[in-house]
Structure 1
Amino acid sequence: MNEGIIDPVSGFIYPADWVVRCADPAGLNAVSTGFAVLTSAGTVLKRGFTTGTTAAAAAMAAVLSLDGPVASVQIRLPCGLTATLPVTTLHAGVAVCRKYSGDYPSDVTSGLAIRAEAMPADQTNLSAGEGIGRYSRGTARWMVGEPAISTSAEACILQAIRDGITALGDSCKGASVKLSVPDGVAVASLTLNPQLGIIGGISLLGTTGLVEPWDDHLTSTIMDRVSGADRVVLTTGRIGLRYSRLLFPDHEVVLIGGKIREALDVAHGEVILCGLPGLILRYIDPSILEGTGCVTVEELRGTDNFVPRMEAALKQFTEQHPNVQVVLIERDGSTIGGER
């Protein structure tokens, strides 16, 4: 009997019929281990590695190279998986890892080299050098001048350094590691960093350590992408984005946030509105909460009124907009309303 596959990164259960459609056994193995995703058409798309993971690999390799050349390292990712990344040892204490983007189509950091220099030390410390951006204005979390290294990425890098030190045994008590990105300044100009007040290079990021195989932040071209697609899925948030990509792999999927009206005005051809119910239901039926005593759609979902009100709203909207298909999903990707 064919069974579904659980994504160890997101927890999403790929249905058995998706698995049946896939004719790539090696790809299915990558899906089951978390290094790829499976779409409803049976297509396998490879995940890439974040800048944080890449930096961690370079840092660990630099530490290990104090004892000799290194060709690959195993990194513990923030999501709990262990990944093997190829690295290049330049000489003792210096190593490079190049960013692998998987099937992410427009990753401007793809192939970017992250360099690490390690020196034996009594204590372990990490510093950021050339090509790693710094905050030009203070935020609630970061002070002016601090390097743009996210908390999860920093933890991954430090763990990789500690793992390298442990592997060297008694010959190394600690290590001082400096990271740099030789082409970081040039590449950063192609990212959102200048708009975020990060100057002088790229950011080292990675909540899970993996890069999903699709665009999710091309905000400057949202309406152009919507109007230019004959088959488009409009989604309101990142959870909707993730599952829309899996459910409708042959469509252009665009994250529109709350700009539902604007997107529908320029969309044409086959149009699907997919996402969590909150924003979508409030848009297609502004009066959906009236008389319920509920303040939010989430609150309404906990009552017996939710299903009949949702179905009535979907029916009325579909009658008024026959060219727009609405699909409402749970946070786990399962469908709760509409058709797919």
Structure 2
Amino acid sequence: MRDPVTGFVYPDAWVERCQDPYRLHLAEEGLAVLTASGTVLVRGYTTGTTAAAACMAAVLTTDGPPALSVPVTLPCGLVVDVPVNADGGRATARKFAGDYPDDVTAGIEFVASVLPAAEGIQIRFGEGVGRFSRDTPRYKKDAPAVSPPALACIEESVREAMESAGLPGVRIELSVPEGRAVGEKTLNPRVGVLGGISILGSTGLVEPWDDHLTESSLSRISAARRPVLTTGRVGLRFARLRFPEDEVILVGGKIGESLAAVKDEAILFGLPALILRFIRPGILEGTGYGTVEELSVSPAFGPIVKETLAGFARTNPGVTVILIDREGTIIGERA
């Protein structure tokens, strides 16, 4: 059985340990994760998926019947039915967190309202959607905190709904009434996003994390000859391209536990933020930059990374560190 989201082939022993056929089916469909103990953890929906569902439902009900769910095509390619409450061109959708108890955005409501337009798609991100307080390498000041994959998912969902409803154009207002308060509980203020939450989602799904999933990842790491440990979806995608013969394992922020499970050699691969903060927690001190991403496009990045990785190599000689940017280009490496 293969996970259609990550591509990981579940060992037969894991499948045999699962005593819940329904949840096992969810894992087979990519909507959940099977762990080494046989426990199945359900994936949630990202803020991007939830926003896309609200916008899609609002468009579909502009001149159509009320809707209680809509089929959203996720960035990872899966199609999921997302619950909504929609009628008369106005829709709400609540974020489903799955088995991720620490998701502070769980249950938060997205509200979309639609008016017809002459042509095209116009989306205004309103109250509760965070905005950048300064220019960053990827966003300009005052731009809404909406990632490209999430925006593409929203626009594609709206486009599908427009074709179904026969509308040549729409104007959509998307808001998150609780977004300002919830955004304060996230990392947004630390990275310069104020006034609300971010709308994100590289796959459209939220990965569950608990002791069972950590145990499964550690089992995979300890069994691999040279595991490639990556912290996120961007790293996962490019790691598979660069190391097709090795076991690539998504570890998120659990870098320390993962490295402790390595038997001999490993590769730590991915975007620089989590990796550098793990290796050198105070890496931004005295730099004048608020995030590792901002530091990464500055002249100071090269010398700081060289020093940081050299120190790490002395204490971890079996770990190769490879840092990449979002296009997969290597921006730091130390064996």
Gaps of 5+ in 2: 211-220, 223-227, 237-250, 269-278, 280-311, 323-335
Query: Structure 1 counterpart of 2:266, which letter?
Result: P
Length-normalised TM-score, structure 1: 0.66
Query: Structure 2 counterpart of 1:201, which letter?
Result: G
Length-normalised TM-score, structure 2: 0.67
Structure 1 counterpart of 2:106, from 97, 101, 110: 110
Structure 2 counterpart of 1:64, from 60, 63, 67: 60
When Rg is computed on C-alpha atoms for both structures, the one with the higher figure is: 1
User: Within 5 Å, which residues of 2 pair with 1:64-143?
Assistant: 64-66=60-62, 67-89=64-86, 91-123=87-119, 124-143=121-140
Structure 2 partner of 1:277: 266
**2:168 is the counterpart of 1:179:** no
Query: How far apart in 2 are the matches of 1:164 and 1:182?
Result: 24
CA contact (8 A) 2:95 2:106 kept: yes
CA contact (8 A) 1:71 1:87 kept: yes
Query: How far apart in 1 are the matches of 2:118 and 2:24?
Result: 45
Query: How far apart in 1 are the matches of 2:321 and 2:92?
Result: 49
Give the deviation of 1:256 after TM superposition. 5.3
3-state SS of the aligned residue for 2:70?
strand
**2:159 is the counterpart of 1:162:** yes
Structure 2 partner of 1:238: 231
CA contact (8 A) 2:90 2:111 kept: yes
Structure 2 partner of 1:54: 50
Deviating more after overlay: 276-285 vs 112-121: 276-285
CA contact (8 A) 2:180 2:197 kept: yes
CA offsets, 1:6-34, max 9 Å, x none?
00000000010100000111111101110
Structure 2 partner of 1:148: 145
3-state SS of the aligned residue for 2:114?
strand
CA contact (8 A) 1:236 1:274 kept: no
Query: Structure 1 counterpart of 2:59, which letter?
Result: V
Give the deviation of 1:140 after TM superposition. 1.4
How many matched pairs? 248
Query: How far apart in 2 are the matches of 1:174 and 1:278?
Result: 48
Query: How far apart in 2 are the matches of 1:272 and 1:160?
Result: 43
Query: How far apart in 1 are the matches of 2:116 and 2:197?
Result: 27
Structure 1 partner of 2:244: none
Structure 1 partner of 2:291: none
**2:188 is the counterpart of 1:193:** yes
User: In angstroms, what is the RMSD of aligned CA positions?
Assistant: 3.2
3-state SS of the aligned residue for 2:172?
strand
Give the deviation of 1:96 after TM superposition. 0.2
Gaps of 5+ in 1: 216-232, 243-252, 265-270, 290-295, 299-340
Query: Structure 2 counterpart of 1:85, which letter?
Result: V
